[in-house]
Amino acid sequence: MTEPPLSRLLPVDAILTTVHVSDWRSAIRTSGELLVATGVSTDDYVHQMLKAVDEYGPYIVITPGLALAHARPSPAVLRTGLSWAGLAAPVTFGHPQNDPVHLVIGLAAVDHDAHSSALSRLARMLADRGRQEKLRSAATPEQVHTLITEYEESERT
């Protein structure tokens, strides 16, 4: 089965670039609400994302400045998808090395495998610090989406 491309798992409607949040909870909630708004998950999943951090700590801050907010596959996930919440001002998650967080990427998956090549692509795209900086400083959701689509096309060729 062919996996949907990253640019389709993360549509323009699931991207915000300068969100004002008060703390890490509201940052995760914002990324979760984008998943709900784009039909990826129900509200329950947003609670599960918050609970995951309550239970296991801020390990979702996987690299300096970036949190990958997610929970387990569950009935609250309607389809696999991603969201992107660029924060107007960074917030701390309590991570010993990778705080403060400027960007929260929300992830919901229906199973353990279907999204893995899109997520690997996301990892390769963000591993380039220069490109990550460009994505983080993009002013509009359209700009973020265009940069992702361009990267995806460059990897394919």
DSSP states along 45-81: HHHHHHHHHHHH-GGGEEETTEEEEE----TTB-S-E
Q: Name residues contacting other proteins, limited to 66-95 (CB under 8 A).
A: 66, 68, 70-73
Q: Which residue do the tokens 């400083």 mark?
A: 137
Angstrom distance (rounded) from CA 140 to CA 113: 31
Name the residue nearer to other proteins (CB basis): 12 or 66.
66
Q: Name residues contacting other proteins, limited to 97-136 (CB under 8 A).
A: 97-98, 107, 109, 112, 115-116, 119-120, 122-124, 126-127
The token pair that represents 140 in the structure block:
């509009």
Q: Indicate whether 96 belongs to the interface with other proteins (CB under 8 A).
A: yes
What residues are labeled active site?
A: 70
- Binding interface with other proteins (CB under 8 A): 52, 55-60, 62-64, 66, 68, 70-73, 96-98, 107, 109, 112, 115-116, 119-120, 122-124, 126-127
